[in-house]
Structure 1
Protein backbone atom coordinates (compact mmCIF):
# COMPACT_ATOMS: atom_id res chain seq x y z
CA UNK A 1 0.00 0.00 0.00
CA UNK A 2 1.45 3.40 -1.03
CA UNK A 3 2.05 6.26 1.38
CA UNK A 4 -0.53 8.35 -0.47
CA UNK A 5 -3.16 5.65 -0.01
CA UNK A 6 -2.34 5.34 3.69
CA UNK A 7 -2.68 9.10 4.20
CA UNK A 8 -5.92 9.21 2.19
CA UNK A 9 -7.39 6.41 4.29
CA UNK A 10 -6.41 8.25 7.48
CA UNK A 11 -8.36 11.28 6.28
CA UNK A 12 -11.39 9.16 5.42
CA UNK A 13 -11.26 7.40 8.80
CA UNK A 14 -11.13 10.78 10.55
CA UNK A 15 -14.13 12.10 8.61
CA UNK A 16 -16.11 8.88 9.09
CA UNK A 17 -15.43 9.13 12.82
CA UNK A 18 -16.85 12.66 12.76
CA UNK A 19 -19.93 11.37 10.96
CA UNK A 20 -20.43 8.59 13.52
CA UNK A 21 -20.05 11.06 16.39
CA UNK A 22 -22.47 13.54 14.84
CA UNK A 23 -19.75 16.20 14.45
CA UNK A 24 -20.10 16.36 10.67
CA UNK A 25 -23.65 17.49 9.88
CA UNK A 26 -25.79 18.40 6.90
CA UNK A 27 -24.79 21.66 5.25
CA UNK A 28 -21.44 21.89 7.04
CA UNK A 29 -18.50 23.02 4.94
CA UNK A 30 -15.32 20.99 5.37
CA UNK A 31 -12.41 23.37 5.93
CA UNK A 32 -9.38 21.82 4.22
CA UNK A 33 -6.82 23.95 6.04
CA UNK A 34 -8.34 23.24 9.45
CA UNK A 35 -8.60 19.54 8.63
CA UNK A 36 -4.94 19.51 7.55
CA UNK A 37 -3.88 21.06 10.85
CA UNK A 38 -6.07 18.71 12.92
CA UNK A 39 -4.75 15.45 11.50
CA UNK A 40 -1.31 16.65 10.40
CA UNK A 41 -1.67 15.72 6.73
CA UNK A 42 -1.10 17.86 3.65
CA UNK A 43 -3.99 19.13 1.58
CA UNK A 44 -3.35 16.83 -1.43
CA UNK A 45 -4.36 13.47 0.17
CA UNK A 46 -7.20 15.31 1.91
CA UNK A 47 -8.58 16.42 -1.47
CA UNK A 48 -8.27 12.83 -2.75
CA UNK A 49 -10.19 11.47 0.25
CA UNK A 50 -12.89 14.12 -0.15
CA UNK A 51 -13.19 13.26 -3.85
CA UNK A 52 -13.83 9.63 -2.93
CA UNK A 53 -16.52 10.67 -0.44
CA UNK A 54 -18.02 12.86 -3.16
CA UNK A 55 -18.23 9.82 -5.46
CA UNK A 56 -20.08 8.03 -2.65
CA UNK A 57 -22.52 11.02 -2.59
CA UNK A 58 -21.65 11.76 1.04
CA UNK A 59 -20.46 15.27 0.22
CA UNK A 60 -20.48 17.56 -2.81
CA UNK A 61 -18.14 20.22 -4.16
CA UNK A 62 -19.62 23.72 -4.42
CA UNK A 63 -17.73 26.41 -6.38
CA UNK A 64 -16.16 29.10 -4.16
CA UNK A 65 -17.25 27.24 -1.05
CA UNK A 66 -15.56 23.84 -1.03
CA UNK A 67 -16.87 20.47 0.04
CA UNK A 68 -20.23 20.44 1.81
CA UNK A 69 -22.30 17.62 3.33
CA UNK A 70 -25.26 17.28 0.98
CA UNK A 71 -28.90 17.82 1.90
CA UNK A 72 -31.26 14.91 2.59
CA UNK A 73 -34.17 14.13 0.28
CA UNK A 74 -37.06 11.66 0.32
CA UNK A 75 -36.10 10.37 -3.13
CA UNK A 76 -32.49 9.66 -2.14
CA UNK A 77 -33.66 8.03 1.10
CA UNK A 78 -35.96 5.70 -0.87
CA UNK A 79 -33.19 4.79 -3.30
CA UNK A 80 -30.65 4.25 -0.54
CA UNK A 81 -32.79 2.10 1.75
CA UNK A 82 -34.21 -0.02 -1.06
CA UNK A 83 -30.74 -0.64 -2.50
CA UNK A 84 -29.19 -1.45 0.87
CA UNK A 85 -32.09 -3.79 1.69
CA UNK A 86 -31.57 -5.76 -1.51
CA UNK A 87 -27.79 -5.93 -1.16
CA UNK A 88 -27.85 -6.88 2.51
CA UNK A 89 -30.34 -9.66 1.80
CA UNK A 90 -27.94 -10.94 -0.86
CA UNK A 91 -25.07 -10.81 1.64
CA UNK A 92 -27.12 -12.61 4.29
CA UNK A 93 -28.11 -15.36 1.88
CA UNK A 94 -24.42 -15.82 1.00
CA UNK A 95 -23.38 -16.09 4.67
CA UNK A 96 -22.84 -19.01 7.02
CA UNK A 97 -23.25 -18.86 10.79
CA UNK A 98 -21.48 -20.67 13.58
CA UNK A 99 -22.90 -20.81 17.14
CA UNK A 100 -20.48 -18.07 18.15
CA UNK A 101 -21.80 -15.80 15.40
CA UNK A 102 -25.38 -16.25 16.58
CA UNK A 103 -24.37 -15.56 20.17
CA UNK A 104 -22.61 -12.36 19.09
CA UNK A 105 -25.78 -11.23 17.30
CA UNK A 106 -27.89 -11.99 20.38
CA UNK A 107 -25.49 -10.04 22.57
CA UNK A 108 -25.66 -7.07 20.22
CA UNK A 109 -29.47 -7.01 20.34
CA UNK A 110 -29.27 -6.93 24.14
CA UNK A 111 -26.71 -4.15 24.03
CA UNK A 112 -28.89 -2.19 21.61
CA UNK A 113 -31.85 -2.63 23.96
CA UNK A 114 -29.84 -1.12 26.81
CA UNK A 115 -27.90 1.47 24.83
CA UNK A 116 -30.05 2.73 21.97
CA UNK A 117 -27.44 4.12 19.62
CA UNK A 118 -26.89 4.18 15.88
CA UNK A 119 -23.40 2.73 16.35
CA UNK A 120 -24.91 -0.37 17.96
CA UNK A 121 -27.57 -0.60 15.26
CA UNK A 122 -25.02 -0.42 12.45
CA UNK A 123 -22.75 -2.87 14.28
CA UNK A 124 -25.59 -5.41 14.42
CA UNK A 125 -25.93 -5.23 10.65
CA UNK A 126 -22.16 -5.52 10.22
CA UNK A 127 -22.11 -8.68 12.34
CA UNK A 128 -25.08 -10.02 10.40
CA UNK A 129 -23.21 -10.14 7.10
CA UNK A 130 -19.54 -10.25 8.15
CA UNK A 131 -19.19 -13.87 6.97
CA UNK A 132 -20.23 -13.04 3.42
CA UNK A 133 -17.27 -13.80 1.15
CA UNK A 134 -18.23 -11.29 -1.56
CA UNK A 135 -15.86 -8.42 -0.74
CA UNK A 136 -17.23 -6.17 -3.51
CA UNK A 137 -20.73 -6.53 -2.08
CA UNK A 138 -19.53 -5.71 1.44
CA UNK A 139 -17.53 -2.69 0.27
CA UNK A 140 -20.52 -1.36 -1.66
CA UNK A 141 -22.74 -1.71 1.40
CA UNK A 142 -20.17 -0.01 3.61
CA UNK A 143 -19.99 2.94 1.23
CA UNK A 144 -23.77 3.32 1.01
CA UNK A 145 -24.18 3.12 4.78
CA UNK A 146 -21.85 6.07 5.28
CA UNK A 147 -24.42 8.26 3.54
CA UNK A 148 -27.26 6.47 5.32
CA UNK A 149 -25.93 7.58 8.70
CA UNK A 150 -26.89 11.17 7.96
CA UNK A 151 -30.52 10.14 7.48
CA UNK A 152 -30.64 8.18 10.69
CA UNK A 153 -28.76 10.78 12.72
CA UNK A 154 -31.32 13.36 11.60
CA UNK A 155 -34.52 11.31 11.67
CA UNK A 156 -34.09 7.99 13.50
CA UNK A 157 -32.89 8.51 17.04
CA UNK A 158 -36.05 8.16 19.17
CA UNK A 159 -36.68 5.20 21.50
CA UNK A 160 -39.69 3.91 19.53
CA UNK A 161 -37.56 3.63 16.40
CA UNK A 162 -34.87 1.59 18.16
CA UNK A 163 -37.35 -0.68 19.95
CA UNK A 164 -39.21 -1.48 16.73
CA UNK A 165 -36.01 -2.14 14.79
CA UNK A 166 -34.57 -4.28 17.58
CA UNK A 167 -37.69 -6.49 17.80
CA UNK A 168 -37.11 -7.32 14.15
CA UNK A 169 -33.41 -7.88 14.88
CA UNK A 170 -34.34 -10.52 17.46
CA UNK A 171 -36.64 -12.23 14.96
CA UNK A 172 -33.82 -12.27 12.40
CA UNK A 173 -31.45 -13.90 14.89
CA UNK A 174 -34.10 -16.43 15.90
CA UNK A 175 -34.65 -17.43 12.27
CA UNK A 176 -30.89 -17.80 11.72
CA UNK A 177 -30.61 -19.95 14.86
CA UNK A 178 -33.32 -22.19 13.39
CA UNK A 179 -31.32 -22.39 10.13
CA UNK A 180 -34.17 -20.61 8.34
CA UNK A 181 -32.26 -18.10 6.22
CA UNK A 182 -35.20 -17.35 3.85
CA UNK A 183 -37.30 -16.15 6.80
CA UNK A 184 -34.37 -14.17 8.20
CA UNK A 185 -33.91 -12.52 4.80
CA UNK A 186 -37.60 -11.63 4.58
CA UNK A 187 -37.57 -10.04 8.05
CA UNK A 188 -34.35 -8.22 7.21
CA UNK A 189 -35.93 -6.63 4.14
CA UNK A 190 -38.99 -5.68 6.21
CA UNK A 191 -36.65 -4.14 8.77
CA UNK A 192 -35.07 -1.81 6.24
CA UNK A 193 -38.43 -0.90 4.71
CA UNK A 194 -39.82 -0.05 8.15
CA UNK A 195 -36.86 2.23 8.80
CA UNK A 196 -37.37 3.87 5.41
CA UNK A 197 -41.02 4.56 6.23
CA UNK A 198 -40.00 6.07 9.58
CA UNK A 199 -37.40 8.34 7.95
CA UNK A 200 -39.80 9.43 5.19
CA UNK A 201 -42.46 10.40 7.73
CA UNK A 202 -39.90 12.42 9.68
CA UNK A 203 -38.68 14.21 6.53
CA UNK A 204 -42.26 14.98 5.49
CA UNK A 205 -43.04 16.30 8.96
CA UNK A 206 -39.94 18.50 8.93
CA UNK A 207 -40.83 19.83 5.47
CA UNK A 208 -44.35 20.77 6.59
CA UNK A 209 -42.97 22.43 9.72
CA UNK A 210 -40.51 24.49 7.70
CA UNK A 211 -43.24 25.56 5.28
CA UNK A 212 -45.46 26.67 8.17
CA UNK A 213 -42.61 28.73 9.63
CA UNK A 214 -42.01 30.47 6.31
CA UNK A 215 -45.71 31.43 5.90
Structure 2
Protein backbone atom coordinates (compact mmCIF):
# COMPACT_ATOMS: atom_id res chain seq x y z
CA UNK A 1 0.00 0.00 0.00
CA UNK A 2 1.39 3.44 -0.92
CA UNK A 3 2.65 5.64 1.88
CA UNK A 4 -0.17 8.17 2.31
CA UNK A 5 1.88 10.57 4.39
CA UNK A 6 3.85 11.46 1.25
CA UNK A 7 0.75 12.80 -0.52
CA UNK A 8 0.06 16.51 -0.11
CA UNK A 9 -3.72 16.12 -0.04
CA UNK A 10 -5.86 18.79 1.62
CA UNK A 11 -8.22 18.17 4.53
CA UNK A 12 -11.96 18.42 3.94
CA UNK A 13 -13.00 17.98 7.58
CA UNK A 14 -16.23 19.75 8.58
CA UNK A 15 -17.24 20.45 4.97
CA UNK A 16 -20.54 19.47 3.40
CA UNK A 17 -21.05 17.59 0.11
CA UNK A 18 -17.37 16.77 -0.34
CA UNK A 19 -17.61 14.06 -3.01
CA UNK A 20 -16.75 16.39 -5.91
CA UNK A 21 -14.08 18.19 -3.89
CA UNK A 22 -12.43 14.88 -3.06
CA UNK A 23 -12.62 13.81 -6.71
CA UNK A 24 -11.01 17.10 -7.78
CA UNK A 25 -8.21 16.71 -5.23
CA UNK A 26 -7.55 13.11 -6.23
CA UNK A 27 -7.67 14.05 -9.92
CA UNK A 28 -5.06 16.69 -9.23
CA UNK A 29 -2.88 14.21 -7.37
CA UNK A 30 -3.12 11.78 -10.29
CA UNK A 31 -2.40 14.36 -12.98
CA UNK A 32 0.53 15.81 -11.03
CA UNK A 33 2.00 12.33 -10.56
CA UNK A 34 1.77 12.34 -6.77
CA UNK A 35 -0.49 9.29 -6.97
CA UNK A 36 1.44 6.85 -9.10
CA UNK A 37 0.41 3.99 -11.43
CA UNK A 38 0.82 0.54 -9.95
CA UNK A 39 0.49 1.63 -6.31
CA UNK A 40 -2.59 0.63 -4.35
CA UNK A 41 -4.81 3.18 -2.61
CA UNK A 42 -7.70 2.31 -0.32
CA UNK A 43 -10.76 4.47 0.31
CA UNK A 44 -10.40 4.14 4.13
CA UNK A 45 -6.72 5.10 3.96
CA UNK A 46 -7.39 8.14 1.80
CA UNK A 47 -10.38 9.08 3.94
CA UNK A 48 -8.18 9.11 7.03
CA UNK A 49 -5.80 11.49 5.27
CA UNK A 50 -8.67 13.77 4.24
CA UNK A 51 -10.21 13.67 7.70
CA UNK A 52 -13.62 12.44 6.49
CA UNK A 53 -15.56 9.19 6.24
CA UNK A 54 -14.70 6.60 3.61
CA UNK A 55 -18.04 6.82 1.78
CA UNK A 56 -17.49 10.06 -0.20
CA UNK A 57 -13.93 8.99 -0.95
CA UNK A 58 -15.11 5.64 -2.31
CA UNK A 59 -17.78 7.42 -4.39
CA UNK A 60 -15.18 9.86 -5.71
CA UNK A 61 -12.84 7.02 -6.64
CA UNK A 62 -15.68 5.29 -8.52
CA UNK A 63 -16.27 8.54 -10.41
CA UNK A 64 -12.60 8.51 -11.40
CA UNK A 65 -12.97 4.87 -12.47
CA UNK A 66 -15.68 5.96 -14.91
CA UNK A 67 -13.30 8.60 -16.26
CA UNK A 68 -10.58 6.02 -16.78
CA UNK A 69 -8.19 7.58 -14.27
CA UNK A 70 -8.15 4.70 -11.79
CA UNK A 71 -8.96 1.00 -11.83
CA UNK A 72 -10.62 -1.18 -9.21
CA UNK A 73 -8.39 -3.87 -7.72
CA UNK A 74 -10.81 -6.41 -6.28
CA UNK A 75 -10.66 -6.78 -2.49
CA UNK A 76 -7.66 -4.43 -2.32
CA UNK A 77 -8.60 -0.91 -3.41
CA UNK A 78 -7.75 1.20 -6.42
CA UNK A 79 -4.73 1.87 -8.59
CA UNK A 80 -3.99 4.71 -10.98
CA UNK A 81 -4.36 3.84 -14.65
CA UNK A 82 -1.03 4.01 -16.45
CA UNK A 83 -0.68 6.03 -19.63
CA UNK A 84 1.90 5.49 -22.35
CA UNK A 85 4.24 7.87 -24.14
CA UNK A 86 2.15 7.39 -27.29
CA UNK A 87 -1.00 8.32 -25.36
CA UNK A 88 0.63 11.51 -24.09
CA UNK A 89 1.81 12.42 -27.60
CA UNK A 90 -1.66 11.89 -29.05
CA UNK A 91 -3.32 13.92 -26.28
CA UNK A 92 -0.88 16.76 -26.87
CA UNK A 93 -1.47 16.69 -30.62
CA UNK A 94 -5.25 16.90 -30.17
CA UNK A 95 -4.95 19.73 -27.64
CA UNK A 96 -2.68 21.67 -30.00
CA UNK A 97 -5.33 21.37 -32.70
CA UNK A 98 -8.23 22.42 -30.46
CA UNK A 99 -7.10 24.93 -27.86
CA UNK A 100 -4.99 27.60 -29.62
CA UNK A 101 -7.61 28.60 -32.23
CA UNK A 102 -10.42 28.66 -29.64
CA UNK A 103 -8.31 30.78 -27.29
CA UNK A 104 -7.70 33.18 -30.19
CA UNK A 105 -11.45 33.42 -30.80
CA UNK A 106 -11.94 34.50 -27.19
CA UNK A 107 -10.05 37.74 -27.87
CA UNK A 108 -12.98 39.19 -29.83
CA UNK A 109 -15.66 38.38 -27.26
CA UNK A 110 -14.01 38.42 -23.82
CA UNK A 111 -15.65 40.66 -21.23
CA UNK A 112 -14.00 42.69 -18.50
CA UNK A 113 -15.52 40.30 -15.97
CA UNK A 114 -14.01 37.27 -17.71
CA UNK A 115 -10.62 38.97 -17.94
CA UNK A 116 -10.66 39.85 -14.25
CA UNK A 117 -11.53 36.25 -13.35
CA UNK A 118 -8.73 34.94 -15.57
CA UNK A 119 -6.20 37.34 -14.04
CA UNK A 120 -7.21 36.19 -10.55
CA UNK A 121 -6.76 32.56 -11.58
CA UNK A 122 -3.41 33.35 -13.23
CA UNK A 123 -2.25 34.95 -9.98
CA UNK A 124 -3.40 31.86 -8.06
CA UNK A 125 -1.43 29.64 -10.45
CA UNK A 126 1.75 31.66 -9.96
CA UNK A 127 1.23 31.73 -6.20
CA UNK A 128 0.72 27.94 -6.05
CA UNK A 129 3.86 27.44 -8.16
CA UNK A 130 5.89 29.67 -5.84
CA UNK A 131 4.64 27.69 -2.81
CA UNK A 132 5.25 24.34 -4.48
CA UNK A 133 1.59 23.41 -3.95
CA UNK A 134 1.11 21.13 -6.96
CA UNK A 135 -2.47 20.11 -6.19
CA UNK A 136 -3.61 23.74 -5.96
CA UNK A 137 -1.56 24.48 -9.08
CA UNK A 138 -3.34 21.77 -11.06
CA UNK A 139 -6.74 22.95 -9.83
CA UNK A 140 -6.18 26.62 -10.66
CA UNK A 141 -4.59 25.73 -14.00
CA UNK A 142 -7.58 23.58 -14.95
CA UNK A 143 -10.03 26.32 -13.96
CA UNK A 144 -8.07 28.95 -15.93
CA UNK A 145 -8.07 26.97 -19.16
CA UNK A 146 -11.71 25.91 -18.82
CA UNK A 147 -12.71 29.54 -18.21
CA UNK A 148 -10.67 30.78 -21.17
CA UNK A 149 -12.08 28.21 -23.59
CA UNK A 150 -15.61 28.78 -22.26
CA UNK A 151 -15.43 32.43 -23.31
CA UNK A 152 -15.73 31.35 -26.96
CA UNK A 153 -19.00 29.57 -26.12
CA UNK A 154 -18.31 26.00 -27.34
CA UNK A 155 -19.10 23.94 -24.24
CA UNK A 156 -18.83 20.65 -26.09
CA UNK A 157 -15.21 21.45 -26.92
CA UNK A 158 -14.60 22.50 -23.31
CA UNK A 159 -15.78 19.08 -22.10
CA UNK A 160 -13.51 17.33 -24.59
CA UNK A 161 -10.50 19.35 -23.48
CA UNK A 162 -11.31 18.75 -19.81
CA UNK A 163 -11.28 15.00 -20.46
CA UNK A 164 -7.97 15.22 -22.36
CA UNK A 165 -6.39 17.29 -19.58
CA UNK A 166 -7.53 14.78 -16.97
CA UNK A 167 -5.85 11.96 -18.89
CA UNK A 168 -2.52 13.79 -18.98
CA UNK A 169 0.17 12.82 -16.45
CA UNK A 170 2.55 15.59 -15.38
CA UNK A 171 5.29 13.54 -13.78
CA UNK A 172 7.83 16.35 -14.15
CA UNK A 173 5.98 18.93 -12.06
CA UNK A 174 7.77 18.07 -8.83
CA UNK A 175 11.18 18.46 -10.45
CA UNK A 176 10.16 21.73 -12.11
CA UNK A 177 8.88 23.03 -8.79
CA UNK A 178 12.05 22.03 -6.96
CA UNK A 179 14.22 23.75 -9.58
CA UNK A 180 12.15 26.94 -9.50
CA UNK A 181 11.24 26.67 -13.19
CA UNK A 182 7.56 26.04 -12.53
CA UNK A 183 7.04 29.71 -11.67
CA UNK A 184 8.27 30.73 -15.14
CA UNK A 185 5.81 28.31 -16.73
CA UNK A 186 3.04 29.59 -14.47
CA UNK A 187 3.69 33.15 -15.60
CA UNK A 188 2.66 32.17 -19.14
CA UNK A 189 -0.92 32.42 -17.87
CA UNK A 190 -0.38 36.07 -16.97
CA UNK A 191 1.05 36.64 -20.44
CA UNK A 192 -2.09 35.09 -21.93
CA UNK A 193 -4.18 37.60 -19.98
CA UNK A 194 -2.05 40.47 -21.28
CA UNK A 195 -2.58 39.29 -24.87
CA UNK A 196 -6.31 38.92 -24.31
CA UNK A 197 -6.52 42.46 -22.99
CA UNK A 198 -4.41 43.81 -25.87
CA UNK A 199 -6.56 42.01 -28.46
CA UNK A 200 -3.60 40.11 -29.89
CA UNK A 201 -5.27 36.94 -31.15
CA UNK A 202 -2.40 35.64 -33.30
CA UNK A 203 0.11 36.07 -30.48
CA UNK A 204 -2.23 34.34 -28.02
CA UNK A 205 -2.67 31.42 -30.43
CA UNK A 206 1.12 30.95 -30.62
CA UNK A 207 1.62 31.29 -26.87
CA UNK A 208 -1.07 28.68 -26.22
CA UNK A 209 0.61 26.30 -28.66
CA UNK A 210 3.96 26.89 -26.93
CA UNK A 211 2.36 26.39 -23.53
CA UNK A 212 0.87 23.02 -24.50
CA UNK A 213 4.26 21.99 -25.89
CA UNK A 214 5.85 22.81 -22.54
CA UNK A 215 3.33 20.57 -20.83
CA UNK A 216 4.41 17.62 -22.97
CA UNK A 217 8.17 18.22 -23.03
CA UNK A 218 8.83 19.52 -19.52
CA UNK A 219 5.81 19.09 -17.26
CA UNK A 220 5.29 15.46 -18.24
CA UNK A 221 8.94 14.80 -17.44
CA UNK A 222 9.25 12.13 -20.14
CA UNK A 223 8.91 14.29 -23.19
CA UNK A 224 9.69 13.75 -26.83
CA UNK A 225 12.30 16.52 -26.98
User: Which TM-score band (shorter chain)?
Assistant: 0.5 to 0.7
Greater helix share, structure number: 1
1:81 offset after TM fit, Å? 2.5
CA, structure 1 residues 129+25, in 2 after alignment: closer, same or farther (shift >3 Å)?
A: same
CA distance in 2, matches of 1:13, 1:113: 22
Corresponding residue for residue 106 of structure 1: 119
1:153 offset after TM fit, Å? 5.1
**What's the TM-score once normalised by structure 2's chain length?**
0.64
Deviation track 1:146-179 (CA, whole Å, cap 9, x = no partner) reads: 2225546566534543233234223322221121
State the structure with more CA Rg. Answer: 1
Q: CA RMSD in A?
A: 3.6
Equivalences, count: 191
Match of 1:79 among 86, 90, 95: 90
Match of 1:53 among 60, 67, 75: 67
Deviation track 1:7-33 (CA, whole Å, cap 9, x = no partner) reads: xxx866533322325697112335478
Corresponding residue for residue 222 of structure 2: 203
CA distance in 1, matches of 2:176, 2:200: 29
CA distance in 2, matches of 1:164, 1:108: 16
Partner SS state of residue 110, structure 2 = coil
Match of 2:80 among 59, 66, 69: 69
Corresponding residue for residue 24 of structure 2: 16
Matches within 5 A, 1:67-146: 67-95=78-106, 96-116=109-129, 117=133, 118=137, 119-146=139-166
Runs of 5+ unmatched residues, structure 2: 1-17
**What's the TM-score once normalised by structure 1's chain length?**
0.67
